[in-house]
Amino acid sequence: MTMVNKIAWDDTVLPFQLDRADIRGRVARLDGVLSGVLKQHAYPAVVEALVAEMALLTALIGQSIKLRWKLSLQVQSRGPVRMIATDYYGPTDDGEPARIRAYASYDVDRLTNGAPFDQVGDGYFAIMIDQGNGMKPYQGITPLTGGSLSACAEAYFAQSEQLPTRFSLSFGKSSEPGVAEHWRAGGVMLQHMPKASPFASGEGGSGDDGLLTAQDLVDGDDQENWNRANILLDSVEDLELIGPSVAPTELLIRLFHEEQPRVFDAQTVQFGCTCSEERVRQSLSIYSAKDIEKMTTPEGRVTADCQFCSAHYDLDPATVGFEANKDGE
């Protein structure tokens, strides 16, 4: 199999700030991460596209939050694609990569020939932040709206955080000469720096079904700066976001040179799953021996598969559950 060419800025997230406009942002390029996520499952192309978009959003949002442990994005839907779930694990030490994993569940017989977002129906988009033991998890949700997962993420930040946020994403299969076909993704995230919002509570927003939008959250000079940055972002081309020839720093100069972009240290990301036999045993520790017996296969084993990485675990039923025989292994 032909190996994928590794580019220096692949699988990185570059934070930046537009000092003139009081806007912060991220530029992300994913390549090997998507290969790691998608090769675990034989998804139809339309499902792969949704998972690729969700993974890219996860990289951009995860790097923008100071995490001690995990950020999760989730779509729950009544459509053909019932669920998309992603996790972003912040680096444990300086210089270490962050890790991303993702999976989708879907009804193959209900998939259509429409656009990827057509495969999700009524439902919600959620962001969950888990800062580890002893910290209360946070969850915010917003309806599935706007025709794309990135629009849902923008709506989430407007509703739950009252932060004007904008994403410009590109993703698809790359077929460079001499390189195996594979998924690549690239995107830019803009976010106005936090400050008091001009939105008056109790009034409906200007979005679908009265949802708040970024425009509802800025006024005066902030609105002018936000609109200018968005107009500049609208000029970006897909190949600039996803192609191998434009470095993230060069992209920022092309788009925002008059806004005085200032970059910070890039964060590398990689595919990574946290499943293990120990975690499987821990999840089964709440069950009695009688419960475990009901889970035992005709071959006399208890099995479990990881939805994220497809790892298969095969355990002796005598060694799991709270009545386990600790000497049974």
**Residue 21 belongs to a domain with what CATH number?**
3.55.30.10
Mean residue pLDDT across the chain = 86
Q: How far is CA 303 from CA 4, 20, 100, 287, 290, in A?
A: 34, 57, 25, 15, 16
Residue 324 lies in a domain: no
Together in a domain, 238 and 125: yes
Cβ contacts of 107 within 8 Å, gap of 6 or more: 80, 82
Residue 71 CA, chain-centre distance (Å), reads 9
Together in a domain, 180 and 287: no
Question: Is pLDDT above 70 for 326?
Answer: no
Together in a domain, 185 and 300: no
| Mean per-residue pLDDT, 217-236 | 91
- What are 88-118's pLDDT values in tens digits? 998 888 889 999 999 999 999 999 999 999 9
329 — pLDDT class (breaks 50, 70, 90)? very low
Together in a domain, 226 and 301: no
Token pair for residue 273?
Answer: 């799953």
Q: So what's the pLDDT on residue 113?
A: 92
Together in a domain, 264 and 291: no
Residue-range definition of the domain harbouring residue 107: 12-200+208-271
The more confident residue out of 135 and 120 is: 120
Q: Report the number of distinct structural domains present in the chain.
A: 2
Q: So what's the pLDDT on residue 318?
A: 87
- What are 6-50's pLDDT values in tens digits? 678 899 999 999 988 889 999 999 999 999 999 888 999 999 999
The more confident residue out of 322 and 4 is: 322
